[in-house]
A and B are shown apart, each in its own frame.
Chain A
């Protein structure tokens, strides 16, 4: 039984590593900030959740409760942080370099400026 749990833990940790590597590779390779936010907020976050699951499998009650707390907290805050970063980039007029990017807002993307504006 312990051997089975250890094997499942190894598999979960390696899965998390692979997912996080894909996420960081996406952050490096994607053309603009609006697509990079996707790689950072979804792929890297899922890798962390996978590693948390591996910890939950073998730990006692204190470890399990803290791991659940971290998971729920990350689940709540990661989308908010990603949204705020994308909103800030749009307000400052970061250009969309992705091929076929469509801006559906009525005001349109503002000119890129060095000064923030309201």
Chain B
């Protein structure tokens, strides 16, 4: 990947991430915020994958895998708690 594309992609993805953070803060319903957090975790995984490509290091991908694992569990727990009042 050329350097120009990498910098443009990282900058643009940071903008998307900021939009997601604004969504998490400004939405009025809790389930909307949970869903915005889901979007945030996906954008974070994409950023980490971009860095793994540019640094040619696989450690960033380990971090991306763990972030996606943890955010999945967190989203499921938060959504079930919001819907039923208990997780299990």
Contact = CB atoms under 8 A, between A and B. Distances in A.
Interface of A: 6, 9-10, 13-14, 16-17, 20-21, 23-24, 27-28, 33, 36-37, 40-41, 44-45, 47-48, 51-52, 54-55, 58-60, 62-63, 66-67, 69-70, 73-74, 77-78, 80-82, 84-85, 87-92, 94, 115-118
Q: How large is the interface on B (under 10, 10 to 19, 20 to 34, 35 or more residues)?
A: 35 or more
Nearest to A73: B68
A115 B83 CA distance: 9
Contact of B9 (A17, A70, A116, A118): A17
B19 A81 contact: no
A33 B80 contact: no
Given A10-B2, A41-B38, A92-B82, 15 more contacts: A20-B42, A21-B12, A24-B16, A58-B1, A63-B58, A67-B49, A70-B61, A80-B76, A84-B75, A88-B34, A89-B83, A90-B83, A92-B31, A116-B82, A118-B84
Contacts of A84: 75-76, 79-80, 83
Given A10-B1, A84-B79, A73 B29 contact: no
Contact of B53 (A33, A54, A85): A54
B13 to A, nearest CB: 7
Secondary structure class of chain B's binding surface, majority of residues? helix
Nearest to B45: A48
Contacts of A118: 84-85
B46 A85 contact: no
Given A80-B76, A81-B72, A51 B49 contact: yes
